[in-house]
Amino acid sequence: MSTSSWPRWARRGRMEMLACIVIATGFLMMLQPFAMVLYTWSFLTTLIGTVMFMVVSKFPE
């Protein structure tokens, strides 16, 4: 087993879960009918989560 120099919080499992939560939050913001400001920021939130997931998927486990 090799020791990684990556910090524990920057490992793939936790960061992928965080990216999935950001994507899900963006979808929920897009589908809610109450606040226009949430709908306005929903696409950017989903986009950030998607880019984050693509980057994080390259991290070591």
HEC sequence for 27-49: HHHHHCCCCHHHHHHHHHHHHHH
Residue 21 is predicted with a pLDDT of 98
User: Tens of pLDDT along the chain (61 residues)?
Assistant: 555 687 887 778 889 999 999 999 999 999 999 999 999 999 999 999 999 999 999 888 7
CA angle at 9 for the pair 42 and 58, rounded to the nearest 5°: 70
Residue 24 is predicted with a pLDDT of 98
Residue 3 is predicted with a pLDDT of 59
CB 41 within 8 A of CB 29: yes
Residue 47 is predicted with a pLDDT of 98
